[in-house]
Amino acid sequence: MIKSGRIVLAICGGLAFLPTAGASTVFTFNMDACSGSCGASPFGTVSLAQTGAGGAGTFVTVTEMLAANERFAGTGAGDALEFNVAGPITIGNITAGFGVGPAPDTASAFGTFLESVSCTACQGGNANNPVGPLSFTVSSASGVTVADFTVNAGGYYFATDIVGNNGNTGNVGARGSGQNPTPEPATLALTGLGLLGLGAFGRRLQKSK
């Protein structure tokens, strides 16, 4: 019985630590470079969700969510989202009202980024500008992973041009300290399976005494 329990534990425990087929990371916009400030931070988030385990066919879905009472701006000081991924890459499946922006692109105080997505429907700080969310995919022939998103020379992962919750406009940014790893469902499921195996082994061990 003990030997059988050890086998179950070994199998389930091993499954719990298998690499996942994807990864997810959330970055927070908490750096303010707006004219006169854009109000209360945080100003929104950028979520990166990886599909695939790496290599060809792996891509990342980027989703930008602004905070309440904010909207995207078209002031010319930046774009809807600037980011760094070493190319060549393909940006696709972009939310209506947005399009592929300049590459490279500069976001005022946050410096230059390799890639960008622009708000084609934005006019200055107009009240009718889109509020989001903005979503698109980033892919390449060799595959793109969450780890391929890196900081620019100033240490920023992302920047965005917004109308803040106080009506002011300008760029807000996300540094590396704003990232929070999020477990994938597959990771949670496999971890649970490993714990179940541990519980089964414990019960068998008690019965053998």
At 21, the amino acid letter reads A
Contact 143, 137 (CB under 8 A): no
Cα→Cα distances 81→2, 104, 137, 202, 207, Å? 57, 12, 13, 51, 59
The amino acid sitting at 91 is: I
Angle between helices 2-16 and 185-208 (to 10 degrees): 170
Q: Which residue has the tokens 């179940």?
A: 196
Q: Which of 40-49, 135-144, 186-195 has the lowest mean pLDDT?
A: 186-195
pLDDT in tens, 74-112: 998 899 999 999 889 999 999 999 999 999 999 999 999
pTM: 0.77
Place of tokens 């980024």: 113
DSSP state of 178: G
For residue 23, the SS3 value is: coil
At 129 the pLDDT is 97
Helix (H, G, I), strand (E, B) or coil at 112: strand
Q: Residue 132: its pLDDT value, please?
A: 97
At 120-156, the pLDDT tens digits run 999 999 999 999 999 999 999 999 999 999 999 999 9
**What is the radius of gyration, based on Cα positions, of the chain?**
22
Q: Rounded to whole angstroms, what are the CA distances from 120 to 35, 58, 129?
A: 22, 28, 10
> Can you tell me which residue has the tokens 């003990």?
2
